[in-house]
Amino acid sequence: MIDFLLYALLAGIGVAAVAGPLGCFVVWRRMAYFGDTLAHSALLGVAMGVLLNIDLGIAVALICLLMALGLVALEQQEILALDTLLGILSHASLAAGLVVISLLSDVRVDLMSLLFGDLLSVTKADLMVIYIGAVIAILLLATLWKSLINITVEAELAAVEGVNVARVRTALMVITALVIAIAMKIVGVLLITALLIIPAATARRISSTPESMAVIASLLAMLSVVSGLATSWYIDTPAGPSIVISATLLFCLSLSCKQKG
């Protein structure tokens, strides 16, 4: 097989593996808009990375993390409803990212690939970063799994039973920031949330435990990557959006299944 296609496939599968379980939490905890806001701020991360001349993945992860922690703090305020606040931050950070990138006149940045992903340009080095990130994220999710489920069901009850709620919540933020940083290459900042929530929503129809939902979501995300990539290869469509379309088609198919538990 041609190298770049193999890299693209492996990269997509690596990201899909972690997008499944994380996406479940995004769905369960109603964090879709939150994820969108973080993903949009990733563009600002790219701009900062280029400006400060540091690794783009690290810059994106750091900016997402700062954004996430800022959002947690802002959640406490009572001036505006959270979705309004998220809407402001989401679009403001996207706009700021676009403006800063346009000002970096001496560096040529391919905006389209940042917004919609550039799976077919994945290099061996990218692949390494993606797998290191994915393995860390999956290990963190697996270690904290029970506590994460516990605080998702009812945070105060979990706290009384001895779960450190603040620490687990922060860990989930870190994982989300990490996954956004590695998923950006695959589907781009505008479509990351789709890769998280669509397979999870599809998996819900055919799962009766949190664990089966997480595993099925991973498998569905991988299937979407493979079929999206195939579409892209054979009929020359952009890879990122094709993956999202595949995931959406699977979701539509799942609607014909009878909802489990």
Among 113, 121, 152, 170, binds other proteins (CB under 8 A): 152
Per CB under 8 A, contacts with other proteins among 3-62 are: 27-28, 30
- Considering the complex, what minimum distance in angstroms separates the CB of residue 77 from other proteins? 12
Amino acid found at 163: V
Tell me: does residue 74 bind other proteins (CB under 8 A).
no
Interface with other proteins, residue 143, by CB under 8 A? no
Binding of other proteins by 201 (CB under 8 A) = yes
Cα 220 to Cα 25: distance, rounded to the nearest angstrom = 16
Alpha-carbon gap, residue 89 to 96, rounded angstroms: 10
Per-residue contact string for residues 158-197; x = within reach of other proteins by CB under 8 A: xxxx------------------------------------
The residue to which tokens 């950070």 are assigned: 93
Site string for other proteins, 96-135 (x = CB under 8 A): ----------------------------------------
User: Can you give the C-alpha Rg of the chain in angstroms?
Assistant: 18
Closest CA to 172 of 84, 64, 10, 86: 64
Helix axes 239-254, 210-235, angle to 10 degrees: 130
Say whether residue 146 binds other proteins (CB under 8 A): yes
Distances (CA, A) of 235 to 122, 227, 228: 20, 12, 11
Of the ranges 92-100, 147-155, 224-232, 241-249, which one interacts with other proteins (CB under 8 A)? 147-155
Cβ at position 259, least distance to other proteins in Å: 9
Phi and psi based region of residue 154 (left: phi greater than 0; alpha: psi -120 to 50; beta: remaining): beta
Chain-centre distance of CA 152, in angstroms? 19
- Residues at the site binding other proteins, with contacts judged by CB under 8 A: 27-28, 30, 146, 149-150, 152-154, 156-161, 201, 204, 207-210, 212-213, 260-261
